[in-house]
A and B are shown apart, each in its own frame.
Chain A
Amino acid sequence: MKKKIITLLGIVCLVLILVACAAPAPAPAPAAKPVKIGNLACFTGHSADANPWMLSGAELAIYEFGGEVAGRPIELINEDSASDPTIAVDKARKMLEVDKVDVLIGPLPASAAAAVSAFLVESRTPHLGICENMLESIQLGDHVFAHDGTHRGTGYVVGLYAYDVLGLRAATVMHDDIIFAEEFVQGGMDAFVSRGGKIIQRQRTPMDTMDYGPYLTAMKKADAIMYWFVPHNAFRFINQYYEYGYDMPLLQTGCTTLGEQHLRDIGDNSLGMISAASYDAGIDTPAVREFVDRWVKVNGHKAEEQGRFPAYNEGLTMYMSVRLVLEAIKATNGDTTPAVLRKALSNLKADSPWGPVSFNEDGVGIGNKYVLKVVKIGDRYTRTDAHSYEQIVRDEPAEVKGAAPKM
């Protein structure tokens, strides 16, 4: 009986302690009101693997500004979205009402971010994505800023590259049965077909597939395979692909998803894999090299699996999201009222290690887009740019939409 009482009291105490800890502590009033950036992070859930890099990227951007902007200290508030739309909206509500954040970033995946964008329609708090945004979320309102563009925009450049540069003419397609995978692949297919290429097959695989064997067996031979999967599935797919002995070039018609650790695990088979991104640590320019040095300097104390090197694309897009926000606040001289901040972001033309970044009238990013190829430098598997498209709108051009046949 005593044990039960103690246990009951223990649980009650635990709940109360957690409530007390979570309630914001009364802080001494700072000299100037801090700028609050809400980060919907993915500590748990299916997008958890890139989280340490996303945190590092955010911290680097803040560090570069010296921890303050326009005389106001910068405060980054991290909460776990568990890679889930419902929990993300819960946390977004908390950030809005309790922490009174000025801007929200994230979460992954894009579907969870779309749910948050919908939630923010009422308050019109500026919302930036990590990696690409769903087109429907951009259309929700003028508070959504997709600097990494849309999914089709990323797939689009890979499709162009495949036809124009690699000279491929026929492709088979495989992707996760989820909307943003479809969008990625659609961009690639539209680009490819609009140039004259042919899509000979399209396979949609369920999200919880672990064994791609049957799909691989059903795959028809073509000049290349265009695919996109979420990281867990992409890794399995690629390993099993080589297990079965296929050798068609792998075209990931979308963002990179697989960090350097993944590439190392895949080994030599990963060499030559194609993908696309707005930012990458392997771009061979002085500005990017300096950026990588800065990253390593600031994060050098961390373990490799905790973000020492800029090994994940998500880390870089997170860095850019935070940086763009800070640049906008600098432009408004520290005014973070939503209307002013939205306008500043709209008109922003920020410099970055990857060239200038700005937004068009719909909130879609304008900047460079790189087609990336996996290479080995020393004993490190990394990516470098195979081709770049300068200062384009990071979305699929209207004239190309619908070029690929419905399959």
Chain B
Amino acid sequence: MDLLVINLLNGISFGMILFLFAMGLSITLGVMGVLNLTHGALFMIGGFVGLSVVNAGGNFWLAVLLGGITAGLVGLAMEWLFLRRLYRQLDDQVLLTLGLVYILGNIALWIYGGRVKIFRPPSLLASPIAIGDYTFPLYRLALIAIGVVAFIGLWWLIERTRIGAIIRAGMDNREMATGLGVNYPLACSAVFTLGAFVGGFAGSLATPVIGVVFTMSLDILLYALIVVVVGGPGSVLGTLVGALIIGVIDAFGKALIQDFAMFTMYIVLIIMLLVKPAGILGRKQV
């Protein structure tokens, strides 16, 4: 019984990281119709900036926040300079975003070197707590809590505020939203930046657990793509559900059928795409 609980917690904590990270991808896809393959690099940037801040003596929470902000700024620059011209042009989006992944990955190698780096969670959260016969890291529980808070915040923003309404309207019909007098490009930039911020924030939060390294951009992106598809792009609740499902499947897959753990993820993706491509709670067919 304890084992079940622990594995569930393993899965949910990893799922929370995926949720925060995938939110950016989901919003961008849903709102702007842009497939931003550079999003993984934003996760990495968040982690590295957080690392630099901590190494310079900064406080943990400041580091995580700055990681998010830097990623947000990079995202804003990307959107403004490149992506806003590529609406609905899949070719160019893929070429551009992958090109940026190469560039950002190599810059990270240049500045930070090749090995995986880590910074410690705040000492308050650093020790494991006992759950039955097992021990579980307190920091991961904190991640779950942070994820829940972030979810509430984002959900409220998208579903309950005027800005969120504008964004949702734009997801469904961009021309109409513009016709209603909304400064759509500005809204897009804001949304993209928010998504980038949350992605970088996730990267920074995740670093004490999985570390940060220059090769991680595409690895983590694959997870996020699966989450977005399973949950449905553009929906906050959908992304959460998708992320939790993937996180839990990952955890139980590793615990029970070790040799085929990675398989399970992709098979879930394929089944999802065949049965309900819009995702569990998807807003729109892209």
Contact = CB atoms under 8 A, between A and B. Distances in A.
Q: Do A and B come from one complex?
A: yes
A261 B115 CA distance: 9
Contact of A245 (B115, B137, B209): B137
Interface in A295-343: 305
Contact of A213 (B113, B251, B253): B251
Interface of B: 3, 6-7, 10-11, 13-14, 106, 109, 113-118, 127-128, 134-137, 139-140, 209-211, 213-216, 219-220, 250-255, 258-259, 261-262
A374 B143 CA distance: 32
Given A51-B114, A236-B116, A206 B255 contact: no
Given A213-B10, A243-B137, A49 B114 contact: yes
A208 interface: yes
A217 interface: yes
A46 B216 CA distance: 10
B187 to A, nearest CB: 30
A210 B210 contact: yes
A217 B109 contact: no
A231 interface: yes
B207 to A, nearest CB: 10
Given A214-B11, A218-B3, A236-B116, 19 more contacts: A48-B109, A48-B114, A50-B114, A210-B219, A210-B220, A211-B10, A211-B14, A213-B13, A213-B140, A214-B254, A217-B7, A218-B254, A218-B255, A232-B115, A232-B215, A235-B115, A235-B116, A240-B209, A246-B135
Given A49-B113, A235-B211, A236-B210, A217 B3 contact: yes
B262 A217 contact: no
8 contacts: A44-B109, A51-B114, A205-B254, A214-B7, A232-B215, A235-B116, A235-B118, A243-B137
A208 B115 contact: no
Contacts of A210: 210-211, 216, 219-220
A46 B215 contact: yes
A159 interface: no
Contacts of B254: 205, 209, 214-215, 218
Contacts of A47: 114
A110 to B, nearest CB: 18
A57 interface: no
Interface string A216-234: 0110000000000001100
A206 B118 CA distance: 21
A79 interface: no
Nearest to A213: B10
Contacts, number: 98
Nearest to A206: B262
Interface string A334-354: 000000000000000000000
Contacts of A51: 114
A236 B14 CA distance: 14
Contacts of A45: 215
B115 A262 contact: yes
A244 B109 contact: no
Contact of B210 (A46, A206, A211, A261): A211
A204 interface: yes
Contacts of B106: 44
Contacts of B10: 211, 213-214, 217
Contacts of A78: none
A265 B117 contact: yes
Contacts of A240: 137, 209
B116 A232 contact: yes
Nearest to A48: B114
Nearest to A231: B115
- Interchain residue pairs A-B with the least CB separation, the first 4: A49-B114, A245-B128, A48-B114, A49-B115
A153 interface: no
A76 B135 CA distance: 52
A206 B261 contact: yes
Contact of A305 (B113, B252, B253): B113
A162 to B, nearest CB: 24
B15 to A, nearest CB: 10
Interface string A17-56: 0000000000000000000000000001111111100000
B259 A177 contact: yes
Contacts of A208: 219, 262
Contacts of B251: 213-214
A384 interface: no
A259 B11 CA distance: 31
Interface string A169-189: 000000001000000000000
A243 B255 contact: no
Given A204-B259, A208-B262, A214-B10, A231 B128 contact: no
Contacts of A218: 3, 254-255
A239 interface: yes
A265 B259 contact: no
A217 B211 contact: no
Contacts of A360: none
A203 interface: yes
Contacts of B6: 217
Interface in A253-283: 259, 261-262, 265
B14 A243 contact: no
A177 B263 CA distance: 14
A117 to B, nearest CB: 24
Contacts of A211: 10, 14, 209-210, 250
B255 A245 contact: no
